[in-house]
Amino acid sequence: MEKINLEQISKGCRTQQFETTLAYLKASREVFWSWGCSALMKSDKQRWLRLTVNGRHHKGYVYIFLNGSDLFDVYYTSNQDNIKLEPCKDLYFDQLVEAIDRKVEYVKQYS
């Protein structure tokens, strides 16, 4: 399995306002908490926000970067940082929750 290269990805990313990113995610409170978030971590140097999730479809980490186009890139890894799912790239802020939810927890019957 391929490990996520945080330094390489971060090179093309901008510094994000972590509180603003979290506000986007938590605006859909029920969806956000359905992911089983148990920990948040941020890296100012490497410019990412990491969620630890325990969802129906994905258990592990969700890394969120703000790329050079001011759009979000999201990576899904194991707790050992092995990439598990196809990343979601070039997301606008209003697409962020839905994109993460589809990979972590979404169940069509519950919509």
CA distances from 56 to 61, 88, 92 (A): 13, 18, 24
What's residue 70's pLDDT? Answer: 95
Give the list of residues 6+ apart from residue 52 with CB closer than 8 angstroms, or none: 37, 38, 39, 40, 41, 60, 61, 79
What's residue 111's pLDDT? Answer: 61
Q: Read off the pLDDT of residues 66-89 as tens digits, 9 standing for 90 and up.
A: 999 999 999 999 999 999 999 999
Quick one: average pLDDT of 20-42? 94
Supply the DSSP symbol for 50: E
On the question of pLDDT at 15 being above 90, the answer is yes
pTM over 0.75: yes
